[in-house]
Amino acid sequence: MNEIVYLDNAATTKLSKAAQEAVQPYLSGAYGNPSSVYSLGREAKKAVENARSRVAQAIGALPHEIYFTGSGTESDNWAVKSVAELKKGLGRHIISSQIEHPAILNTLRHLEKNGYDVTYLKVNQYGQISLDELRSAIRNDTVLITIMTANNEIGTILPVSEIGKIAQENGVLFHTDAVQAVGHIPVNVKEMNVDIMSFSGHKFGGTKGVGVLYAKKELKLPPFLHGGGQENDRRSGTENVAGIVALAAALEEALLNLPLLKVSQMRDRLIVELLKIPRSRLTGDPLNRLPGIASFIFECIEGEAMLLLLDQCGICASSGSACSSGSLDPSHVLLATGLSHEIAHGSLRLSLSGENTDDDIDYVLEKLPGIVARLRAMSPL
């Protein structure tokens, strides 16, 4: 088998067919600057505004509540920093969780160095926060709750609507990093009671380097990038027209495919079969989990070694998060779920998409048990 079996869709996805088609004109003839007055420019402007309306529609928002950014990371930075800035007269306390993506955690650490106080809610073995703990963590000076919709490493889906309701009842703004959720499970900003939400095109079949920030219309977010006044004067810089068009097309295609029943069936087959390997366990929530994420611990194994042997078989997977691979620190998410350092090292994440087939799953099930056995035979543990 020379083909690649790609099981790292939580890191990034292949460009979807719809996105590939939609993007073509903007990579060739339709290269105008959306700010220009002549028709080539107006055509680009129309494409961006059309994409904005469709993205808004897809998440239950209004077009002027959608801002295009350069990544999910940028959207997270913008959301957290600008609410902190906007509300600093009212207080400097922020509530988050221990399992956020580094785009949130490192932004919060930066704010902590600048006089903000952050409460990181702990999670249980499944990666779930306690809503009671959230309620008790809210103080007079709390200005923001930022908790992700679904976790990228263990696939746990968090109770976002309930969190949003608690935020509303207490007059606190609620931001959610929905990068792993949008295009994978139904996401509606009204039903989720969110005020601000981040997501990213390349996690659902768009191109890399385009993100979205939703901010409800009542929120007058301060500008994040100062310049020529693009994106309603909030995020200047000539628009990534091709990427924005691709994102809208990919999102619509992804939503047509919901619910991802076939994907969750493949996920469940991986889970059932791989848990037959001795001293293996599932990480994340067994019930409330993303359709595409099967994540495991294989005790007495180094995750990085597993990835190299899988790669030799043409299988792309991940251990911990791609962002921290190359470092020997075990994943902060797995540690937060109560696993020891030693055990957390043996993690494996297989993340699927609609592009995967039953043959891919058969192939992994054929190869992985042998790889685990081989590594254990070599392990000093």
Q: Is 32 in the site for ligand PLP (CB under 6 A)?
A: no
Q: Is 183 in the site for ligand PLP (CB under 6 A)?
A: no
Q: H or E segment at 239?
A: none
Q: What is the dihedral of CA 326, 328, 332, 334, to 10 degrees?
A: 100
DSSP symbol at 157 = B
Centre a 10 Å sphere on the Cβ of residue 273 and count the other Cβ atoms it contains: 16
Task: Compute the least distance from the CB of residue 6 to ligand PLP, in Å.
Answer: 16
The pattern of x and - marking residues 54 through 93 that bind ligand PLP according to CB under 6 A reads -----------------xxx--x-----------------
Dist CA 319 CA 310 (whole Å): 11
Task: Compute the least distance from the CB of residue 380 to ligand PLP, in Å.
Answer: 34
Size of the site for ligand PLP (CB under 6 A): 15
Q: Is 319 in the site for ligand PLP (CB under 6 A)?
A: no
DSSP symbol at 184 = T
Handedness of CA 234, 235, 236, 240 (dihedral sign): negative
Task: Compute the least distance from the CB of residue 97 to ligand PLP, in Å.
Answer: 12
Q: Is 351 in the site for ligand PLP (CB under 6 A)?
A: no
Task: Compute the least distance from the CB of residue 180 to ligand PLP, in Å.
Answer: 5
Residue 115 burial (CB < 10 Å; 0-12/13-18/19+)?
Answer: exposed
Q: Is 180 in the site for ligand PLP (CB under 6 A)?
A: yes
Task: Compute the least distance from the CB of residue 177 to ligand PLP, in Å.
Answer: 5
Residue 300: active-site member: no
Q: List beta partners, residue 229.
A: none
Among 101, 175, 267, 349, binds ligand PLP (CB under 6 A): 101
Handedness of CA 320, 321, 322, 326 (dihedral sign): negative
Site for ligand PLP in 132-161 (CB under 6 A): 148, 152
What are the two backbone dihedrals, phi and then psi, of residue 324, each rounded to the nearest 5 degrees? -110, 5
Close Cβ partners of 373 (under 8 Å, ≥ 6 residues apart): none
Q: Is 103 in the site for ligand PLP (CB under 6 A)?
A: yes
Applying CB under 6 A, which part among 14-22, 52-60, 83-91, 177-185 lies near ligand PLP? Answer: 177-185
Asked if residue 212 lies in contact with residue 199, where contact means CB atoms within 8 angstroms, the answer is: yes
Site for ligand PLP in 200-219 (CB under 6 A): 200, 202-203, 211
**Residues in the chain, total:** 381
Binding region for ligand PLP (CB under 6 A): 71-73, 76, 101, 103, 148, 152, 177, 179-180, 200, 202-203, 211
- Catalytic positions are 323
